[in-house]
A = this chain, B = another copy of it.
């Protein structure tokens, strides 16, 4: 096995990113005891951490490029939900062995998403152990402008970006033997796209936001409880991922969209008067925006089968490996 130092030197520096580049905010990149960053004057910092563990969050046999992409994407999704601009990340990886081809694929997936999202990897740690990746992401927004979970108002329209159910549908596709990343459902599951540009575009229009990592219903409950409100959903109008009905049937597709998790779309509440502006801004980013209900004073979530309300996020199906 390569030493920790060799691994870090070889894979943690992205040759296509210059950490000293003007505008990167990176004063000192990987290689010292800490990275040194220059926050933008007048900004506040958004910080979030996410662990992706093999056989809990992704299959061991998933392509390395997807594992690298996904570990970063799920963390960046939290920045998107705050309306933050992504800036920097650090990554800790635990590896059972140092396989060159696997590491090259992992690094390719991770760094490619860094470049797309304008994020610089500024530090890391490598340990020998079961495959696990923990990414801490850092974003910025003008001071006082964080888009939180708790700002929703009764009467707000609830909207979601993109389409739902692809996370669950892709997981089912994987277990059914799908392996090609150009399968839209598998791509939705293994290569989620953090909605950073959409989050920034919605920041000044929206009252509240959360990313849909645990399933629409669970995350809507978080949004509601943070605001002390309830909601009514138009389940028939949920935007479903391409291919979802074909794979899971009508009822299964709706259950996946409501309870499946791993979609990494944004669930946002905003005043009805701003809906058209929001839609236009997201259309310019090529991101669909669909109204799916409203916040209301009455507690609970109306419009949803009561059984589904108790059926929240699950990791892998029981017994699957």
Count identical subunits in the complex.
Answer: 2
- Whether B53 contacts A33 by the Cβ 8 Å rule is no
- The contact string, 1 if C-beta is below 8 Å from chain B, for chain A 37-69, is 111010111111111010011000000000000
Q: How far is the CB of A92 from chain B (nearest CB, A)?
A: 4
- Whether A125 contacts B47 by the Cβ 8 Å rule is no
**In the bound complex, how far is the Cα of B136 from the Cα of A125, in angstroms?**
10
Select one of B123, B146, B149, B210 contacting A49, CB under 8 A.
B123
- Whether B132 contacts A94 by the Cβ 8 Å rule is yes
Closest to A213 in B: B33
- Whether A56 contacts B127 by the Cβ 8 Å rule is yes
CB within 8 Å for A56 and B149 given contacts A47-B37, A47-B123? no
Q: How far is the CB of A259 from chain B (nearest CB, A)?
A: 15
**In the bound complex, how far is the Cα of B114 from the Cα of A109, in angstroms?**
35
- Whether A34 contacts B48 by the Cβ 8 Å rule is yes
Size of the chain A interface, CB-CB below 8 angstroms: 57
A interface: dominant SS? strand
- Whether A127 contacts B53 by the Cβ 8 Å rule is yes
Cβ-based interface call for A91 (8 A)? yes
> Which of these binds chain B: A82-90, A97-105, A290-298?
A82-90
CB within 8 Å for A36 and B146 given contacts A129-B53, A130-B130, A134-B125? yes
Name A113-138 residues within 8 Å CB distance of B: 122-125, 127-130, 132, 134, 136, 138
Cβ-based interface call for A81 (8 A)? yes
CB within 8 Å for A82 and B51 given contacts A56-B127, A143-B38? no
Cβ-based interface call for A241 (8 A)? no
- Whether A38 contacts B47 by the Cβ 8 Å rule is no
Cβ-based interface call for A150 (8 A)? yes
Closest to A3 in B: B312
Chain B residues with CB below 8 A from A2, complex form: none
**In the bound complex, how far is the Cα of B33 from the Cα of A211, in angstroms?**
8
Select one of B45, B57, B226 contacting A39, CB under 8 A.
B45
- Whether A90 contacts B136 by the Cβ 8 Å rule is yes
- Whether B33 contacts A37 by the Cβ 8 Å rule is no
Chain B residues with CB below 8 A from A138, complex form: 47
Cβ-based interface call for A285 (8 A)? no
Cβ-based interface call for A148 (8 A)? yes
Name A1-31 residues within 8 Å CB distance of B: 27-28, 31
Chain B residues with CB below 8 A from A122, complex form: 47
Q: How far is the CB of A65 from chain B (nearest CB, A)?
A: 22
Cβ-based interface call for A79 (8 A)? yes
Chain B residues with CB below 8 A from A41, complex form: 41
**In the bound complex, how far is the Cα of B52 from the Cα of A127, in angstroms?**
8
| Nearest 3 interchain pairs by C-beta | A34-B46, A33-B81, A136-B136
